Every structure is written in structure tokens, then in C-alpha cells.
């Protein structure tokens, strides 16, 4: 109380002084002491301050905005527009990758479902011991690579043309038993029975623009390396038995060279072992993988192996791709006899009442339709007509020696050139061998740039200049 009394006395003295000097004092209603405020009011020292309006009771205070943490890289985006664009592109790429992975997962699920649905359709071929397909499916040893883009591409391409696969399987019915039996005997993967699908579509008389011939498409030099004789009247590359033996010998040799890798083996069969070795050495120097899918190989070779794997997938699950395989019996379709005299195959087919083209196709190694016992005395016959043909061939008189007719030429300065009209199925290599010349000479005389010729055109061909006693 003493303090308050002293404060009152001080205020009264201060009030008298302020009144005399006409100075007003402003006080606030916020003072805690009511007596002091009342005395100041009586003396007129207080200036009234208008009261502040209280806020509405229904007013809701705005939520406090919380600070959001932003990484330093994101905070810089507002300053650098290029950085913002870069991050936008990264996010778009991430979204694309996610969508791509989802599509791959969906394709895998579709493939699994397709295989599941195809099991019943393929059950008749897999389980039937009477069909050759069961032996092929049971001998698979090469893993599936259906996830590879090129394999998927060829699967889709072949699946859109089931008629082509149907035609190839029809042609293969004569040779599949022969090929599969030899593969099983050697312990090799039965997927190799699909190799002629890629090479020649199982055409025993097929020729390529590069000079490769036969079901396994041997070029001349490789054929000679593996014992396939080639003369003007006989070509062992067109003999299905001898060519199959040579092809499997070559594949086994390549497989040992590439340490059991069948994809590299098939690539070397197409491009040559040296080309594959160079690609492997280049990848080793660059620190890259050395499997088939990472090698820098020619375009044809890069598509060669995926084609075979695509055929394997479609033929293993025919129902999933709208294909119905022919039930090829698990029994030999061909018979082979040995005759030590020249035989005119056209006459034999005519006497047996079968198309001559059928017998000539099976024996394409005899280039002029007449057998040459000095090179091969084996004749391949369809098993359904083997007995009849065998008896007819034994009774036929010997045909003219076609080898002497085409192997020896009289030397003459006149008539050094002949004209030859191209027939359907002819190519430059076959025409050159038939007339004892070379492809280069034919192209030079006729001014041909490429390797393709059309049936019906006339070619100028130089006759052989070798003497009568010289052997070609």
C-alpha cells in the first residue's frame, strides 16, 4: 500500500506540472491498476482509444502451411529451366520403361497360357509313339530363347503363314526319319532336324545364288572338305544320305570347336568358323559378352539362328499357332538299292507308273537323270514302290554312259559357243557345271551383273577347250 500511496502522490504532482505545461498523456486501458486509471481519467490525462472489434465466433483460422522438404536438385529446378526439363525427360523415360516391362510381363503370361492351351492339341503328337514328332520333341537339348526380340519376330512372322510350314513338313516327310535316326545315334540335339527348314525348306535339289546345293546347302569347297564328290554328272551334295552324314560330321566338329555352344555352332555353320572366331575376339577386346546374342555377325547369320528357334517353338506347340502337323510315321519312307550299271531313272519311273519328277528329286545327285556307278551305285526309291522299281531297274538294259558324254569334249576352233535357253529352276552355277565352264565366263559373255537369271532368256556359253583325252 505504501507503494500505491507514493504513486498517487507522484501522479498528482505530475498532473499539476502537465496541466501547467498543457501536455496530455496517453494511457491505455490495458493498465492493471484501476485506481490509477480512474485518477488519470479525472485529471483528463487519458485519451480514449476505440475498442477493437472482436472476430466472428464462426471464423475458422486458416491451416498453417507446413514446410515441404525439397532436395537440392529439385530446389535448383526453379532457377535452371534446363535442369527442370532434364528431370521431366527422366520421369518420362521411367514411365516408358515401366510400361514396357508391363507389356513384356503380359506377353509372357500370354505365352504361358498359349502353351497350356496347346498341350492338349500337341498331346497326340507328343505321346504317339507311331509318329516321328514324338522322337523329335523328346530329344530337345537347346534351351528356349523365345524372349529374344528376333525370335519373337520370326515366331509371329511364321505363325501368320501356316500354309508355308505345312508345305515344308509335307516335303520333310521323306527325310525326317533318316535325319532323326542319325541324330539319335550320335547323341546330338534333335532340334538340328529343323536346320533344313531354314537352309532349303527340305528341298533336296535346292541351289542358292552362292553355289550352295542340296538339303543342307553345302558350298563346293566345304562339300569337298567332308568327302562330297562333285563332277559334271554327279554331285554328292544332292544325295540325302551322304549329305546328311557330312552335315552332321561338320556340326559335331564345330560344336567341339566352340565347346558345346550350339548357337555358336549354328552361326559358324552359316557364316564359317573363322568369322565367328573373329567376332568373339573382338568382343573379348572390348570387354563384352561372347555369347551369340552379343556378337557382331552378318545380318543373315543374326537371323539364321532365330529362324531355327522360331520353327522349334511353332512345331513344338502347333495348336497355339493354328497349325495341324501331319502325322509322319516313325518309320523309314525311303529305300536304297545298289546297282552296278547306268540306269535311266525316267524310264524306270515310266515303267513303274509313278511321276518321273518323284524319282529324279530323290536322286538329284545324278545331274542328268542317269546313274553313274563309278561315283555312286546307290539309288533311292520311295518305300511304297520299292519292290516294283527294284525289279524294273534290274530288268532295264544299261543306259549310255552319261559321264563320258559330258566329261570329254572335242577340241575345235569352230563352234566354240553355244546358246542355252534358261529353264525354270536353273541357275548360273548349275548351267556352268553342265557345260564345263565357270559362272564368271557366263556373266562376262552375257553382260550379267547379278546372280539371278529369268527362265526363258537365251545365254551364250563357251564350250570347254579341253582335249578329248583330258578329264574335267
Domain spanning 415-462: CATH superfamily? LysM domain (3.10.350.10)
Query: CB within 8 A of 73, min separation 6: which ones?
Result: 83, 87
Confirm whether 199 is a catalytic residue. Answer: yes
Same fold, 131-321 and 415-462: no
- At residue 126, the pLDDT reads 45
User: Do 142 and 189 touch, CB atoms closer than 8 A?
Assistant: yes
Q: What local confidence, expressed as pLDDT, does residue 30 receive?
A: 45
Per-residue confidence of the chain (472 residues) as pLDDT tens digits?
555 555 556 656 655 554 444 444 444 444 446 677 777 677 666 655 555 555 555 545 555 556 555 555 445 445 677 888 888 889 888 888 888 888 888 777 777 766 665 554 444 444 445 689 989 999 999 999 999 999 999 999 999 988 999 999 999 999 999 999 999 999 999 999 999 999 999 999 888 877 889 999 999 989 999 999 998 889 999 999 999 999 999 999 999 999 999 999 999 999 999 999 999 999 999 999 999 999 999 999 999 999 999 999 999 998 888 888 888 899 999 999 999 999 999 999 999 999 999 999 999 999 889 999 989 999 999 998 999 999 999 999 998 877 666 554 443 444 467 888 888 878 888 888 777 788 888 888 887 877 788 888 888 887 654 433 332 2
The catalytically annotated residue of 53, 182, 199, 313 is 199
C-alpha span between 98 and 404 (Å, rounded): 72
What is the predicted pLDDT for the residue at 233?
87
CA distance 240 to 238: 6
Domain residue limits, the chain:
2-42, 89-118, 131-321, 334-404, 415-462
Chain centroid offset of residue 368 CA = 39
pLDDT (0 to 100) of residue 472: 29
Q: Which residues contact 351 (CB under 8 A, 6 or more apart)?
A: 392, 396
Question: What CATH number matches the domain at 131-321, 3.40.50.300, 3.40.1640.10, 2.60.40.10, 1.10.530.10?
Answer: 1.10.530.10
Q: What is the spatial distance between Cα 401 and Cα 303, in angstroms, rounded to a whole number?
A: 44
Residue 180 φ then ψ, to 5°? -65, -40
What pairs with residue 326 in β-bridges? none
Amino acid at each position: 500500500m505504501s507503494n500505491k500511496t507514493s504513486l498517487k502522490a507522484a501522479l498528482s504532482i505530475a498532473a499539476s506540472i502537465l496541466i501547467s505545461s498543457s501536455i496530455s498523456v496517453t494511457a491505455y486501458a490495458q493498465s492493471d491498476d484501476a485506481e490509477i486509471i480512474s485518477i488519470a481519467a479525472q485529471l483528463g490525462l487519458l485519451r480514449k482509444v476505440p475498442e477493437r472489434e472482436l472476430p466472428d465466433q464462426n471464423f475458422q483460422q486458416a491451416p498453417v502451411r507446413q514446410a515441404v522438404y525439397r532436395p537440392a536438385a529439385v530446389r535448383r529446378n526453379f532457377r535452371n529451366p534446363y535442369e527442370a526439363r532434364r528431370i521431366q525427360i527422366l520421369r518420362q523415360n521411367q514411365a516408358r520403361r515401366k510400361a514396357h516391362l508391363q507389356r513384356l510381363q503380359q506377353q509372357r503370361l500370354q505365352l504361358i497360357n498359349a502353351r497350356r492351351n496347346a498341350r492338349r492339341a500337341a498331346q497326340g503328337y507328343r505321346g504317339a509313339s507311331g509318329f516321328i514328332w514324338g522322337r523329335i520333341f523328346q530329344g530337345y537339348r537347346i534351351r528356349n530363347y523365345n524372349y529374344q526380340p528376333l525370335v519373337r519376330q520370326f515366331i509371329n512372322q511364321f505363325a501368320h503363314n501356316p500354309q508355308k510350314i505345312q508345305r515344308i513338313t509335307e516335303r520333310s516327310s521323306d527325310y525326317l526319319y533318316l535325319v532323326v535316326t542319325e541324330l539319335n545315334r550320335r547323341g546330338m540335339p534333335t532340334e538340328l532336324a529343323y536346320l533344313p527348314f531354314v537352309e532349303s525348306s527340305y528341298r533336296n535339289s535346292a541351289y542358292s545364288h552362292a553355289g550352295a546345293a542340296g538339303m543342307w546347302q553345302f558350298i563346293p569347297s566345304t562339300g569337298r572338305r567332308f568327302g562330297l564328290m562333285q563332277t559334271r554328272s554327279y554331285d554328292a551334295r544332292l544325295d540325302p544320305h551322304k549329305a546328311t552324314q557330312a552335315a552332321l560330321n561338320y556340326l559335331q566338329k564345330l560344336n567341339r570347336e566352340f565347346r558345346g555352344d550350339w548357337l555358336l555352332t549354328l552361326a559358324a555353320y552359316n557364316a564359317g568358323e573363322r568369322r565367328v572366331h573373329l567376332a568373339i575376339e573382338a568382343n573379348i577386346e572390348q570387354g563384352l559378352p561372347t555369347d551369340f546374342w552379343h556378337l557382331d555377325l552378318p545380318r543373315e547369320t543374326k537371323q539364321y539362328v532365330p529362324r531355327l528357334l522360331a520353327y522349334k517353338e511353332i512345331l513344338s506347340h502347333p495348336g497355339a499357332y493354328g497349325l495341324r502337323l501331319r502325322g509322319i510315321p516313325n518309320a523309314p519312307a525311303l529305300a536304297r538299292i545298289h546297282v552296278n550299271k547306268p540306269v535311266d531313272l525316267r524310264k524306270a519311273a515310266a515303267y513303274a507308273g509313278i511321276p518321273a519328277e518323284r524319282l529324279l528329286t530323290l536322286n538329284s545327285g545324278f545331274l542328268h537323270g542317269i546313274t553313274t556307278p563309278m561315283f555312286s551305285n546307290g539309288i533311292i526309291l520311295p518305300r511304297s514302290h520299292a519292290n516294283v522299281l527294284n525289279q524294273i531297274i534290274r530288268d532295264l538294259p544299261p543306259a549310255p554312259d552319261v559321264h563320258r558324254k559330258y566329261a570329254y569334249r572335242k577340241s575345235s576352233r569352230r563352234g566354240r559357243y553355244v546358246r542355252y535357253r534358261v529353264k525354270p529352276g536353273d541357275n548360273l552355277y548349275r548351267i556352268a557345271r553342265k557345260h564345263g565352264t565357270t559362272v564368271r565366263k557366263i556373266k562376262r559373255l552375257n553382260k550379267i551383273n547379278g546372280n539371278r537369271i529369268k527362265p526363258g532368256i537365251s545365254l551364250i556359253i563357251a564350250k570347254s577347250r579341253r582335249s578329248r583325252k583330258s578329264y574335267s
